[in-house]
Structure 1
Amino acid sequence: MTETIPAMKARHRSELIAAITAQRDAGLTQTQAAHNLGVSITTINNAIHRNNVRWPVKRQGHPKHTRETAQ
């Protein structure tokens, strides 16, 4: 039996969400996930927002240095 267009769209969406959540559950950043999936960061970010996928925010970059006062 041939798959209908609505069924194909639903299957594609569920496969997309599964691929994205697998990357998220592995503890990757969105940038790493985009690289692994072979898409741009914009594409993965749009998919995350359109499908209401929660992705924990990780702090990146250099930590702020704190100055300790000598006493």
Structure 2
Amino acid sequence: MTIDRNIVLARLEVVIDSLGLPELDPKAIAEDDERLIDFAIKHGQSLDWLVMGDIRSYILMAAKIR
């Protein structure tokens, strides 16, 4: 499997904008697996979504919050 870094970058840009984190460099994060994992953990994001576009984990989180 090859990771499409451009898609990861686009998703990171959305997350970084939504969380108000303009000081972060989404391109640097998208290009480095360790930074991407650290970002996801620190900011409560799903690697499944960031890398593969799989939103099931977000659907489950939203259901549990209700």
Bigger helix share:
2
TM-score normalized with structure 1 length: 0.29
Q: Which has the higher contact order (CA 8 A, sep 6+)?
A: 2
TM-score normalized with structure 2 length: 0.30
Larger Rg: 1
